[in-house]
Structures are given as structure tokens and as C-alpha cells.
């Protein structure tokens, strides 16, 4: 079956779903139209550019998000603030980057000092304090302890669906079908009914909120947890992807011109595991299936919005917390300052103005906070940084002079412009990539004399000061940086795995 046919079938199946799900009760909330715009805030966990609207994988099937991208501004060069769930979401939701907050790695909010947490007003908290009803389901912040949400989370949420999600039964799938210990590294279909999947439940919750009568503006945050590991979802979405899956383009000796802090972020052991019996195929297929599953769940919510009275007065912001390596640079997952980790899906739709197009300028998810406050007329807290993207909503071709800054651990920063990526690590080692000629970031130009001026220009955007690492509440600190500067274990692991990998690499050449 060719790709176009598969896509057509998928759309027909989806359309049937739409028809059967169309609410039979009358459209409500008509009296709300003149109020401030509502916000539908869609957070996705670990989705890279393997989606139709970013063309990162030729077989990706994501019709609902592709439609959304056409309906608004598709930011095709958008980057997370940090390539990991915890620090990415802290920065985005609080509106402050790691080098100013000290929130470089992962935190458990319950264990953080109130003095630190109370410094910030999260996006949902600001909306709640500004007269919005705020609804949340799924992963918005990293860490979703109900005891925290129902207590401290009251300042953010009028209503939160977390308890219902936690009551869902465990998903059923072949726990032994994966790799390594535990259920996390599984890449196979589930046999559970759809209703047992947290993301389906989150979508249903979103539909329910959109079908209600609202007499005050609402902020509806839906956090989808797929395609995060384990890569499991209903069989239908695996069936969309026939063999073979096209592998990503990989340069066998790609890491050899990368400095050691960069190499310390590679995941050679995963690469080694997945090279046995061509398991990468299975991983890629399961990831694509999970992207399509997430797309279908988002589709349910968008259909409900389109069938509601709120369609023309609801801003939609869709983002993923970071990208994902699928074997490029011998890496799996995120946790690096390379393109695969930092580039994210990011769409903004404002039906009041019908902005449309795609923007190729480098933007940051840090820009969401000031963009949303400008779009809704709320006052942003004075500490909030980032740049409102409203000018690029109005004119996506507008040239941007500021880059996206991505930080992974104290002292490790990446500057991304439309053309360049410049990485500067805690030990002053560097990478420079020219996206005009090298979209895969294969050729590190940092040591070549003719690029010194480019490097100097880009280095001006590096932070001039760095807040100390916040210690209390720290949950996971998995990066070699100024606070954990020992590269030796990473070097040893790398050399050991490289020896094991050599036969496979030679075959690839």
C-alpha cells in the first residue's frame, strides 16, 4: 500500500470517528464570544519532527496536526529551552531559562523550597489569577503527584483530571517485547481498550470541557504522554506502518569530530542494543505509531472545539517539550544539544486573526509565555523573559535577529539561528554547524579558522552569568556539566561501547 493511500484510509477512519463523536446536544456558550479568548494549550511529550507538518520522516502519518499546522503558524525551526522533560517544562511554564532560575536538571516540585517555587507564576497560575477557569489533564509540568496538584496545584487549576488518570488500570502489552529491565523499553501494541490509555482519557476530558457551558474564559491544558517511552499504543496505529520503515540518515563516524562533553550525551549502549537483529526498525515503527496515536487523540479534541461555540474565540498552542534521537549520532532519546533533541513541533493558531503560514526563523518555547500574554491581553510577570512571537504570527517571513538559546546543564549552551548552530560546553569546547549546507549537523566547523568570525558573532548570545544550580528538590541530574564536570566515566563508557559497535559501523560504511 503506498503512503498516499494509507493516509487517505486513515483520514476516512478519522472522519468516521468525527461523525460518530459529534455531540448531539446543542452548541453551548454563545454568550461567551465577546470575552477574552480561551486558550487550548496542547503539550506533547518527546515528539520530534517525525510528523507530516515538519517532514522529518517520509512515512509519518499525522493528519490532524497537519491540518492544525495549516490553520495557523507552523514554526518549522522551533527549539526547546532544555532537551529534557523537567527543565524544558520548568522554563516554558515559569517563563525563565535555566541560566536565570538555576533549574538546569529535573526536580520534584513537592520537594522544592517554597521560596524558589513562589518566585514564579506559572502560565496556568497567571490565567487563573487573571479570571480564567483553568482545566488540566495529563503531563503539563514534569511530575504529576496528585497530593501536590490538589494542594499547591490549586493556585494553577480550577479543575484537574489527574486523579481519574491515576485510577486507570495498567496498560496491557507484552512486557518482555522490549529491551532491558522493566516495562519502559517496550515497542509493541497494547491490547487494552482505548479508554484505559491515559492520552485517550485526557482527550476525552478535553472534549468534556469543550462541551460545557462556560461563562468565563477558559485555559484548557492537555498534556499527552505519548510518544514518550514505552512506545506502546493500540494496534491500529502500528497497522498504519507497513515494513520496511525508512531509517534516518546516519553518518557512521559522525561523533569523531564532536568534543567529549558532546559525546558524553550520546547513547552508544542503546545504539548497540538496537543494532542486534535490526531492532531499530521496531523502535522506529513503534515511535511513528505513537505519534499517529497522539495525533488521533488531538484530533478528537480539535473536532470537539470545532463543534463548539468556542471555535472562533479559542487560541491553540501546540508544542512538544523537546525532540528525540532515533539513532542519529549513536543516540536515543533526548539529552543533547543537537538538532534531533532540540527541534520541536510548535504551532500557534489565533482564529480571531486567521494568521497562516510557516515561520523558518529560530524561535524558542520560552517565547510561549510572553506570546500568550500579549495575545490575551494579560500582564506578564516582570521577571518573564522570552520574546513575544506576535510579530511573526502577523508576518512569518519577518527576519529575526535574536537566536534560540538551548541549555543542557550549567555551562552547556547552544545558540540556534536560522542558519547556524553553535554549541559551547562547560570546558570551552565547541561545535559549529551550518544548516544551509549541513542539515544533519554532520560536519563540525568549530576548529576551522575561516569560521572564527561566525563563532564570535554567535558567542555573543551566550549567557554572561549563570545562576547556581538549585539543589533542593533535585530529582535527576544526568548531564556532565559545570556541577558534575568529570568526563572520565563518559569517556570510558564511550570507548568500551565503541569497540563493541565497530563491526556494525564498518558494515554500515
CA angle (240, 69, 403) in 5-degree steps: 120
Per the annotation, the verdict on 290 as an active-site residue is: no
Nearer of residues 222 and 359 to Ca ion, judged by Cβ: 222
Enter the C-alpha cell of residue 284. Answer: 522506529
Residue 328, interface with Ca ion (CB under 5 A)? Answer: no
Whole-number Å distance between alpha carbons of 126 and 274: 44
Helix axes 368-376, 85-94, angle to 10 degrees: 30
Whole-number Å distance between alpha carbons of 417 and 255: 22
Residue with the three cell numbers 516540585: 109
Shortest Cβ 183–Ca ion spacing (Å): 18
Nearer of residues 233 and 375 to Ca ion, judged by Cβ: 233
Site for Ca ion (CB under 5 A): which residue of 7, 45, 283, 446? 45
Q: Of the ranges 62-70, 98-106, 441-449, 463-471, which one interacts with Ca ion (CB under 5 A)? A: 441-449
Shortest Cβ 84–Ca ion spacing (Å): 7
Nearer of residues 47 and 301 to Ca ion, judged by Cβ: 47
Q: Of the ranges 41-49, 61-69, 114-122, 364-372, which one interacts with Ca ion (CB under 5 A)? A: 41-49
Whole-number Å distance between alpha carbons of 234 and 1: 20
Beta bridge partners of 476: 106
Binders in 46-75 for Ca ion, by CB under 5 A: 46
Shortest Cβ 392–Ca ion spacing (Å): 25
* Catalytic site residue from 57, 99, 142, 197: 142
Shortest Cβ 27–Ca ion spacing (Å): 35
Q: Which residue is nearest to Ca ion (CB)?
A: 85
Enter the C-alpha cell of residue 39. Answer: 486558550
Residue 257, interface with Ca ion (CB under 5 A)? Answer: yes
Helix, strand or coil, per DSSP, at residue 149: helix
Secondary structure, 3-state, 446-483: CCCHHHHHHHHHHHCCCCCCCCCCCCCCEEECCCCECC
Shortest Cβ 292–Ca ion spacing (Å): 18
Residue 321, interface with Ca ion (CB under 5 A)? Answer: yes
Nearer of residues 45 and 162 to Ca ion, judged by Cβ: 45
Shortest Cβ 373–Ca ion spacing (Å): 24
* Catalytic site residue from 57, 79, 85, 214: 85
Per the annotation, the verdict on 85 as an active-site residue is: yes
CA angle (52, 165, 475) in 5-degree steps: 85
Nearer of residues 139 and 282 to Ca ion, judged by Cβ: 139
Q: Of the ranges 288-296, 318-326, 374-382, 425-433, which one interacts with Ca ion (CB under 5 A)? A: 318-326
Nearer of residues 75 and 319 to Ca ion, judged by Cβ: 319
Nearest Cα to 230, choosing from 174, 270, 306? 174
Helix, strand or coil, per DSSP, at residue 234: strand
Site for Ca ion (CB under 5 A): which residue of 49, 254, 303, 328? 254
Distances in Å between the Cα of 223 and the Cα atoms of 41, 43, 155, 467 are 8, 5, 18, 29
Note whether 18 and 303 are within 8 A (CB). yes
Which residues are part of the catalytic machinery? 85, 142
* Residues of this chain that bind Ca ion (CB under 5 A): 45-46, 85, 254, 257, 321, 442
Amino acid at each position: 500500500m503506498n503512503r498516499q493511500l494509507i493516509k487517505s484510509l486513515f483520514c476516512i477512519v478519522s472522519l468516521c470517528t468525527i461523525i460518530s463523536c459529534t455531540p448531539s446536544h446543542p452548541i453551548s456558550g454563545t454568550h461567551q464570544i465577546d470575552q477574552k479568548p480561551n486558550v487550548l494549550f496542547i503539550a506533547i511529550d518527546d515528539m520530534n519532527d517525525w510528523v507530516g507538518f515538519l517532514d522529518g520522516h517520509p512515512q509519518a502519518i499525522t493528519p490532524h496536526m497537519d491540518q492544525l499546522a495549516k490553520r495557523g503558524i507552523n514554526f518549522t525551526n522551533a527549539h526547546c529551552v532544555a532537551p529534557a522533560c523537567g527543565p524544558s517544562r520548568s522554563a516554558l511554564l515559569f517563563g525563565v531559562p535555566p541560566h536565570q532560575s538555576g533549574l538546569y536538571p529535573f526536580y520534584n516540585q513537592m520537594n522544592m523550597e517554597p521560596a524558589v517555587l513562589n518566585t514564579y507564576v506559572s502560565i496556568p497560575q497567571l490565567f487563573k489569577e487573571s479570571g480564567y477557569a483553568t482545566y488540566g489533564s495529563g503531563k503539563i509540568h514534569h511530575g504529576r503527584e496528585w497530593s501536590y496538584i490538589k494542594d499547591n496545584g490549586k493556585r494553577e487549576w480550577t479543575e484537574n483530571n489527574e486523579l481519574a488518570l491515576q485510577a486507570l488500570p495498567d496498560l496491557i502489552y507484552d512486557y518482555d517485547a522490549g529491551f532491558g529491565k522493566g516495562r519502559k523499553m517496550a515497542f509493541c501494541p497494547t491490547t487494552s481498550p482505548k479508554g484505559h490509555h491515559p492520552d485517550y482519557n485526557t482527550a476525552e476530558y478535553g472534549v468534556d470541557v469543550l462541551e460545557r457551558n462556560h461563562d468565563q474564559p477558559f485555559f484548557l491544558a492537555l498534556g499527552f504522554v505519548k510518544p514518550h517511552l514505552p512506545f506502546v499504543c493500540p494496534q491500529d496505529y502500528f497497522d498504519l506502518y507497513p515494513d520496511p520503515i525508512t531509517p534516518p540518515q546516519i553518518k557512521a563516524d559522525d561523533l569523531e569530530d564532536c568534543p567529549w562533553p558532546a559525546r558524553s550525551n550520546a547513547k552508544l549502549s542503546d545504539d548497540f542494543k538496537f543494532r542486534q537483529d535490526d531492532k531499530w526498525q521496531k523502535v522506529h515503527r513503534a515511535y511513528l505509531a505513537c505519534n499517529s496515536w497522539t495525533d488521533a487523540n488531538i484530533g478528537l479534541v480539535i473536532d470537539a472545539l470545532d463543534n463548539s461555540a468556542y471555535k472562533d474565540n479559542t487560541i491553540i498552542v501546540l508544542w512538544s517539550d523537546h525532540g528525540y534521537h532515533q539513532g542519529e549520532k549513536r543516540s536515543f532519546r533526548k539529552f543533547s544539544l543537537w538538532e534531533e533533541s532540540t527541534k520541536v513541533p510548535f504551532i500557534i493558531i489565533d482564529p480571531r486573526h486567521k494568521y497562516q503560514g510557516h515561520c523558518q526563523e529560530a524561535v524558542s518555547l520560552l517565547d510561549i509565555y510572553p506570546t500568550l500574554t500579549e495575545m490575551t491581553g494579560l500582564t506578564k510577570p516582570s521577571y518573564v523573559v522570552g520574546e513575544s512571537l506576535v510579530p511573526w504570527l502577523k508576518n512569518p517571513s519577518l527576519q529575526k535577529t535574536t537566536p534560540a538559546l538551548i541549555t543542557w546543564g550549567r555551562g552547556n549552551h547552544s545558540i540556534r539561528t536560522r542558519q547556524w548552530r553553535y554549541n559551547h560546553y562547560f570546558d570551552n569546547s565547541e561545535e559549529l554547524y551550518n544548516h544551509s549546507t549541513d542539515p544533519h549537523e554532520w560536519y563540525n566547523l568549530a576548529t576551522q579558522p575561516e569560521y572564527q568570525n561566525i563563532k564570535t558573532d554567535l558567542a555573543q548570545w551566550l549567557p554572561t552569568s549563570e545562576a547556581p544550580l538549585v539543589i533542593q528538590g533535585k530529582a535527576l541530574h544526568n548531564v556532565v556539566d559545570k556541577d558534575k564536570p568529570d568526563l572520565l566515566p563518559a569517556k570510558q563508557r564511550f570507548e568500551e561501547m565503541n569497540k563493541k559497535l565497530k563491526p556494525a559501523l564498518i558494515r554500515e560504511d
